[in-house]
Structure 1
């Protein structure tokens, strides 16, 4: 493998003038590499964070990246650049949430660097990823099969290498619309008309503060991205005729050429490490103290007289050319077959003397077992440390340990409602001895191959296997008065998932609250997602309906159902998205992606039983068409029921929130046969079996109250506390008191602000009401018929969570932070965490 002319010229230039092109840093300056995410059920790909004193660089931003920052107390204020290996969901699904979080934290500017498709990916999120006051600088580069520099600032240089061939994902089945190929996602059926234009034709003028871009990779995409993040803070012109690029509902034009979907690998060169400055030697060489000393320290040369030039190296003792690391990202054996792996000589060619310390193998599990890949690894000397992360080689440990510990504590109160999330401490495939498994609990020095002494507190997993209840109470450090309550609860045997005997059908429906937070994920709560389990006797136990799908929903499903998560998604009948705010739908692409991947299984199984595949396995329905008075309602419901092979009745309800937002009423009717003696056959009538109403995000809304008057279950948002009525009005949300004013038989409250990790005191005062009310936690499951029993556990639940830390918001963790350590606060020694959460 020989570098291209471009890569070679960069190497030659840096060797000739390394001190001018390569940045330098004091030899004692700390430089750390922190794994933010590693492969497990919670995420789709690993993520690494490179940390300097005042600058941080993130490599890949999959789902749950922002939540992992909160879990590990990693401040975001110094995060300056984000590198994506690809624009696919697996590497980039957390980008929208991360950018909005940075903007909300008053970040002034952020760099986003990635391969082709980057502008298109960002523009896809224009309707829900908009912020004023922050500049987003995008660098989109064409992938090459040789190392090519794609980024440089005052600390690092980054090279990218990949496969330059155009590839299309295996499950894509493009269709033709006119003369243009249709993108894979558009192959899904929809009752929503699609419009393809470059930008909204009603307004071609750019908004104030947005400058036209010289290069235009995809017909107006840079203008859209600039309009999404308005550094000027200029307000958007009001009115439809003043629609600007980021506010256009016109569909983006599909690129003329297919986008290369193969991930790229990155080579990261750190700064040169300056040695100790020797002022006496500089004086002897004729350099005067003052500004000239500072220039020498910064790597510059000083001309003392016409004949003498004193270089920085002449006055320094020690120091080095710095270090480098390589991130290998190969998603499949097919990509490996078309990829040229850079050998050590090629990496050295562009490294300007930097010492390659580590290779992070973030590859498909089959790649690391491939003979060619193994042979490539063996070409690197013993001075290079290899770190590996794949779903099969890595143990399926908890990413969000505080949440898992909370679940264990709640399990003591109501085991049926709070089962322990699935995990595994043993990998599926043993790792090779020469490959170190990547762990979130290690932080690596960029100046040596050793881990640093500063570890994150590590969870003692033996506590989850503790079968002695008294011992578990002791290890969890449960307060004595609460321990007494637990004994009382155990004797009463409250089990909200137990069979309720000869109960109504509605009583057997299960509600699982996968994500119960609002706005952004936090330490104990993920963003919105609720799953209904509907009993079904035809070949499987339950059908499922998902209400909203915030970022990380697929990971929550994997934790909840363990090995059975794929079966759960196969039986998923409907996903309802209430509105376009990111915390309600950014987990949807991962769910749809899996649905498409198991289409082969469904097509084959449809030979045995009808599955509605002839209409398209995934169909989109416009919520407007399911309104009670819509003239398209009857036709839309017929299509929906044919697709789902169910008699579910869906009615959407407009609610009071920012923008267009819907609640939904879901009903199901059962058949009842009456034998008529005069007829040879019976007479069939339909009886309402159950009705559930879901609020979405809303202020108190009479339309929602009027809809579903016979609702057996109300799932309602309760974002804010009783004392924050004015704030709730401003933000378009409900307080807890407002949510329960719409009295139903059973009520599940969710969508809580990070300000309220605990149970509000007002809930305890409601036990004497006829309405059964429960406060939801992530992973909570409860049969509707058992909500009354779970309500009796509220005092114990309140006691259990009263000692929890306040939610870790970016504002709370970033104050006064200048330490390059990935985690905020004081340095902590490694310890096993079993009793704190």
Structure 2
């Protein structure tokens, strides 16, 4: 089966001679041969018609380009095309079948060269697909017809970057192709069958709703102009996402801001990342950059080989602080720090966009204080101007096993400090084509003295030099799209005698020389081209508080840009803090800069509703809550704000920022909501309304039957089930994230909260967007007895098992949010983590206050510092021997960090025993591990990772993880009373099968809360859960690569 083959594999594509029925196999691939099979009945001088085919699920378009005939054909597939197992491979194969129909209808005879970037379609066309289903049906139809074809066909693979049909299938060739729903207004022409001509009568059974044929689009060349320049909203302002704006061209994408949850938003919205060229940040705050490290790893893993990252001062410091867990040898990352500047400065330019920037900073003397209510629940956030954090002079100790340099790099200053950070980033992202090359070494000429012998700067466990630049800068961006060249006038070219083969040069701005009646004339582009259109631009302004308003630049600073390149300002994105949009100074500045027709897209705490960001996960959780509303919780939202009417008093043409908003740049248009097939932003709202009416969301009889059976079984068992009171009955476990490696549509990365009444809470690992998950699980209603703010204020300890990003990239957001709580928590927060994780925290504190060095702030416990052994032979490290206050706060007799077996040297589990008689163990990431088994003997609850299915035990061993069966065996050996499995591979489409002697084994789900007396229920729920996951989950949660 050829699906998903690497393009390095040579494909054998069949070449058919229809007249004699010969089948000649030739070899093609990424570097196809240039010869063609000669049919005995085809003269060598018979012309070759070059064809290109492509299909796209996002537009439902199948496109065919006949290069030599200067024609293309577009077919729109009906919305229901995706039913019955059809997928993109089916669409790509249909493109081949449609091509045959076109050629037959045009009565073409001769040789045909078909170019496609789909290996699956090529395999189908060559007859290599034998499995039953829709693809085999297409192959069989082609096979039965090919002996009647009056032409010879040869197919070859080409890159999608050069496939001329690719832009057509995306709807990107004709400007305004989708205007006014053009496909819904075409004449009612349909395919009667695949060998009929366009004039066939309608056929309800056809998969095609309509087609459009545009002949002679290009009179001179098939160079395809890239007119699909849009900017779109990937994520909006909610409790779990910050706005992310994507500027989208056919071959290039650009991102503006990358807060927590950005990667997951791309997955949810089905946006692609593979063509990303640059990321721009407005502030060096975790709210704007919390998802950057995860995005960089996702980009590299998607095949991106180079990315530009631009932002305010501190960008290099932040990236260098992530050196222990963010590195990809095959990708380069080029960083630019935008320093304070007067007016607008050009900071970036390529073929598609030009970006200008201006800096803003708070003017404290002109600040207007914003009163903040103080609540006993700790439910408010401070709103104040940025202040430099308390200087953290600790280097966090040292670790002998880490890479040390002959000079203490933490004391470097100025240029030397900057160069050391840059050296680290170059080593994190060297951009080598092969990982087998020799490790990078520090360049002696460009590196600070005394550190040239360091083998890998990214492995340094010395603290970074303290960052001394501005920490309050906010950068605004003016983005200009490309100038749109004028239309080519073929009549003028004919009159001037320009040959068709030369006309492409004119469209590229080149002059040509022609000879007419023996006279040579130089033809310049302006003789055959219409006037070019001025580029369209848009602004992104991030104004955190009113204190920044005085630093907005004089509107006159836009004039030099306009004089150099006249542009139209079509839109402004406003990321505005409380009170900013209502401030007359801000409104006056905007009115001066923006023309009346400018669109204003607003993200502000004053106006933006807290809508659901991740619809798929929310919908699944809502369905699970039908099974047990006290165990499975639907995410909380607050969609009551309807502020458009008020915004009308602030701006003309206002819009509340919403995921899926798309704004065309040329010509500038208002934003419209355009979602990919399968994406529906209001799905959760509709379903919560259905749920509130008491109606079920279950879609099949099997699901309803399984739920009813589970409820009945629980009801029957309740009468006979007895539970004797036991220590630990009152603590609750909430699984905020239950996935591994990367977030997906249905599971966020790992994080677990244990809440102990009268003692406080402990968080076990905190992957990216843990705070957002907490907001969705507990809500942000400050009047509620329990809300996310009160839960966070009650957290006394956070344990980070190891340095891999999926276990700690949400930590900084938790700490900055806790630091902003008003009133401040009454107790300190202890971080138990390893040396590398500690460095990330301390170094980020240079950029944003996370509570180090303040009363009842953050206190760090570095695991490696505590080398004394426990009385057991487990080599555990007793943290509580040094910090007895942890045990006093949380009521534990002991807390032990236990070395476990993973792919990193410093990876730990934790075992905690409470003075009330109950205990828990948490594995972190590990293979089956004797040290954890011994340390956790007879624990009440074991929380263990179960990354892989049992049949993937070899892969689990390779990656340092456990299978489900191995996790259960660990519970048996440990004699744990209860077992909670979590950290599942994001590729699991179904519920794993549980086979264990444990009657008290539970699978973790996002937003699930369970206490030990209720573990027995989970076994009765398994059948119902399996049914739901069969219909809800798919294995295609990877980020779209197109």
TM-score class, shorter-chain normalisation, is 0.7 to 0.9
After TM superposition, the structure 1 = structure 2 runs for residues 556-635 of structure 1, keeping only pairs within 5 Å, are 556-562=773-779, 563=781, 564-598=787-821, 601-602=824-825, 616-625=856-865, 628-629=869-870, 633=879, 635=881
The separation in 2 between residues aligned to 1:360 and 1:523, in whole angstroms, is 27
In structure 2, the CA distance between the partners of 1:32 and 1:225, relative to structure 1 (3 Å rule), is: same
Task: Give the superposition deviation at 1:91.
Answer: 1.0
Residue number among 979, 990, 996 corresponding to 1:747 in the alignment: 979
The separation in 1 between residues aligned to 2:599 and 2:722, in whole angstroms, is 57
Task: Give the superposition deviation at 1:800.
Answer: 1.1
1:400 alignment counterpart: 614
Say whether 1:703 aligns with 2:931: yes
1:384 alignment counterpart: 598
The separation in 2 between residues aligned to 1:130 and 1:483, in whole angstroms, is 47
Task: Give the superposition deviation at 1:348.
Answer: 5.9
The separation in 1 between residues aligned to 2:316 and 2:852, in whole angstroms, is 36
Task: Give the superposition deviation at 1:217.
Answer: 6.9
Residue number among 945, 950, 963 corresponding to 1:717 in the alignment: 945
In structure 2, the CA distance between the partners of 1:496 and 1:102, relative to structure 1 (3 Å rule), is: farther
Say whether 1:481 aligns with 2:694: no
SS in 2 for 1:131: coil
| 425-434 or 102-111, larger mean C-alpha shift | 425-434
After TM superposition, the structure 1 = structure 2 runs for residues 265-414 of structure 1, keeping only pairs within 5 Å, are 265-282=476-493, 284-285=495-496, 289-291=500-502, 293-300=503-510, 311-317=524-530, 319-340=532-553, 342=555, 346=559, 349=562, 352-379=565-592, 380-414=594-628
2:461 alignment counterpart: 249
Task: Give the superposition deviation at 1:328.
Answer: 0.9
In structure 2, the CA distance between the partners of 1:639 and 1:544, relative to structure 1 (3 Å rule), is: closer
Structure number with greater Rg is 2
Contact 1:531 1:547 in 2 (8 A): yes
Q: TM-score, normalised by structure 2?
A: 0.65
The one-character-per-residue Cα deviations of 1:272-331 (angstroms, maximum 9, x if unpaired) are: 11222123424545756545x333212345688999875534422364112111111111
Contact 1:497 1:782 in 2 (8 A): no
In structure 2, the CA distance between the partners of 1:345 and 1:730, relative to structure 1 (3 Å rule), is: closer
The separation in 1 between residues aligned to 2:344 and 2:477, in whole angstroms, is 9
Contact 1:511 1:783 in 2 (8 A): yes
In structure 2, the CA distance between the partners of 1:118 and 1:668, relative to structure 1 (3 Å rule), is: same
| 369-378 or 722-731, larger mean C-alpha shift | 369-378
Contact 1:157 1:270 in 2 (8 A): yes
In structure 2, the CA distance between the partners of 1:297 and 1:520, relative to structure 1 (3 Å rule), is: same
Contact 1:509 1:532 in 2 (8 A): yes
Say whether 1:552 aligns with 2:769: yes
Task: Give the superposition deviation at 1:796.
Answer: 1.0
Residue number among 316, 337, 349 corresponding to 1:152 in the alignment: 349
SS in 1 for 2:728: helix
List alignment gaps of at least 5 residues for structure 1.
1-24, 176-181, 206-213, 537-541, 671-688, 818-837
Contact 2:880 2:896 in 1 (8 A): no
Larger relative contact order, structure 1 or 2 (CA cutoff 8 Å, min sep 6): 1
In structure 2, the CA distance between the partners of 1:592 and 1:523, relative to structure 1 (3 Å rule), is: same
Task: Give the superposition deviation at 1:237.
Answer: 7.9
In structure 2, the CA distance between the partners of 1:303 and 1:191, relative to structure 1 (3 Å rule), is: closer
The separation in 2 between residues aligned to 1:34 and 1:506, in whole angstroms, is 49
The separation in 1 between residues aligned to 2:858 and 2:805, in whole angstroms, is 21
In structure 2, the CA distance between the partners of 1:483 and 1:343, relative to structure 1 (3 Å rule), is: farther
After TM superposition, the structure 1 = structure 2 runs for residues 416-815 of structure 1, keeping only pairs within 5 Å, are 416-427=630-641, 431-433=646-648, 434=652, 435-447=654-666, 448-452=668-672, 454-456=674-676, 457-458=679-680, 459-460=682-683, 461-467=685-691, 471-473=695-697, 476-477=698-699, 479-491=700-712, 503-536=725-758, 543-562=760-779, 563=781, 564-598=787-821, 601-602=824-825, 616-625=856-865, 628-629=869-870, 633=879, 635-641=881-887, 644=889, 646-647=891-892, 649-659=894-904, 660-670=906-916, 689-742=917-970, 743=972, 744-761=976-993, 763=994, 765-766=995-996, 769-810=997-1038, 813-814=1040-1041
SS in 1 for 2:336: strand
The one-character-per-residue Cα deviations of 1:198-255 (angstroms, maximum 9, x if unpaired) are: x9524999xxxxxxxx9877131111101001222335489x9864111111110113
| 545-554 or 110-119, larger mean C-alpha shift | 110-119
Residue number among 318, 322, 328 corresponding to 1:131 in the alignment: 328
The separation in 2 between residues aligned to 1:605 and 1:758, in whole angstroms, is 41
1:82 alignment counterpart: 279
Say whether 1:38 aligns with 2:241: no
The separation in 2 between residues aligned to 1:264 and 1:612, in whole angstroms, is 27
1:4 alignment counterpart: none
Task: Give the superposition deviation at 1:487.
Answer: 2.2
Contact 2:311 2:338 in 1 (8 A): yes
1:12 alignment counterpart: none
Contact 1:527 1:583 in 2 (8 A): yes
SS in 2 for 1:329: strand
The one-character-per-residue Cα deviations of 1:100-119 (angstroms, maximum 9, x if unpaired) are: 11111221111112222111
The separation in 2 between residues aligned to 1:141 and 1:613, in whole angstroms, is 30
SS in 2 for 1:723: helix
The separation in 1 between residues aligned to 2:877 and 2:768, in whole angstroms, is 34
The separation in 2 between residues aligned to 1:620 and 1:599, in whole angstroms, is 22
2:397 alignment counterpart: 193
The separation in 2 between residues aligned to 1:565 and 1:288, in whole angstroms, is 71
List alignment gaps of at least 5 residues for structure 2.
1-222, 366-383, 442-450, 782-786, 830-850, 871-875
| 300-309 or 328-337, larger mean C-alpha shift | 300-309
Contact 1:669 1:690 in 2 (8 A): yes
The separation in 2 between residues aligned to 1:471 and 1:624, in whole angstroms, is 54
| 621-630 or 519-528, larger mean C-alpha shift | 621-630
SS in 2 for 1:799: helix
Task: Give the superposition deviation at 1:393.
Answer: 1.0
